[in-house]
Amino acid sequence: MKMASSDSRLQQLPSQKDAADQNFDYMFKLLIIGNSSVGKTSFLFRYADDSFTSAFVSTVGIDFKVKTVFPALLEPDDTAGQERYRTITTAYYRGAMGFLLMYDITNQESFNAVQDWATQIKTYSWDNAQVILIGNKCDLEDDRLIPTEDGQRLAEDLGFQFFEASAKDNINVKQVFERLVDVICDKMNESMEGDMSILPNHRNQGLKDSSSDSQGSCAC
Ligand code: GTP
Ligand code: MG
């Protein structure tokens, strides 16, 4: 069950029933995590709706959108970064196949917190969950506090892939989601010999609808 949100923009989200009505081979549940205000909700809205607002309405609990990347349905869930919702959000980790762990390149605290978020993933998530580290707000070059190399180094240390991105200027948003799907598929092929039926959210409904609102494809 999804938590209600204080964010009026999220009233426009498709219902979970809409998602269930679609036909797709696989469902990849993804979580976007990171400190409050790093841009998780903005990133999701840019990806799913190609929209952006400079207003900041902090997320309560969890919200979600769905997006088809043929032949999979992505369910990227947007989590609240505020500490008081931590118990709610960690309860969702187990079902997620991939994480977008986000910090803000203009916010040192959000970068310092990456290690803690990574520990949370290791503690609460499915063992094979894949993670991409994202330095968001790369449009704010003048206010940058975290050099690109520091983000790269941290991602290497943690064994994650790394992107800098901007929800505002639509830089690397689609690419991040597509890369995450790719690494999930690669991991499946590599460690489970392509047996997708072991996925936590696998559905075998038959493939009817080949339409996709993304150019990304799954090369599983
Ligand atoms: P919580 O819901 O509290 O966890 O925060 P959040 O991570 O969802 O942050 P949100 O997406 O609400 O964005 C916080 C603020 O940062 C908003 O004012 C956004 O407009 C702004 N913002 C988000 N992404 C970007 C970006 O790429 N560039 C710039 N310049 N601002 C951004
Ligand atoms: Mg939010």
Q: pLDDT (tens digit, 0 to 9) for every residue of the chain, 220 residues total?
A: 333 333 333 333 344 444 445 566 677 888 899 999 999 999 999 998 899 999 988 887 776 666 655 555 666 767 777 776 767 677 778 888 899 999 999 999 999 999 999 999 999 998 889 999 999 999 999 999 999 999 999 999 999 999 999 999 999 999 999 999 889 888 878 766 655 555 555 443 333 333 333 333 333 3
Find the ligand nearest to 53 CA.
1
Give residues with Cβ within 8 angstroms of 179, minimum separation 6: 132, 161, 163
Decide the pairing of beta strands 26-34 and 98-104: parallel
The CB of 42 under 6 Å from ligand 1? The reply is yes
The model's pTM is 0.79
Q: Is 124 exposed, middle or buried (0-12, 13-18, 19+ CB in 10 A)?
A: middle
The CB of 40 under 6 Å from ligand 1? The reply is yes
Q: 114-124 and 148-158 are packed helices; what angle lies between their axes, rounded to 10 degrees?
A: 20
Residue 188, pLDDT score: 79
Task: Report d(CA 4, CA 11) in Å as an integer.
Answer: 9
Residue 6, pLDDT score: 37
The CB of 39 under 6 Å from ligand 1? The reply is yes
Nearest atom of ligand 1 to the alpha carbon of 42: 11
Residue 193, pLDDT score: 63
Gyration radius from the chain CA atoms: 16
- C-alpha distances in angstroms, 211 versus 29, 106, 204, 220? 19, 38, 18, 18
Rounded to whole angstroms, the maximal C-alpha distance in the chain is: 50
Contact criterion met (CB below 8 Å) for 36 and 88? no
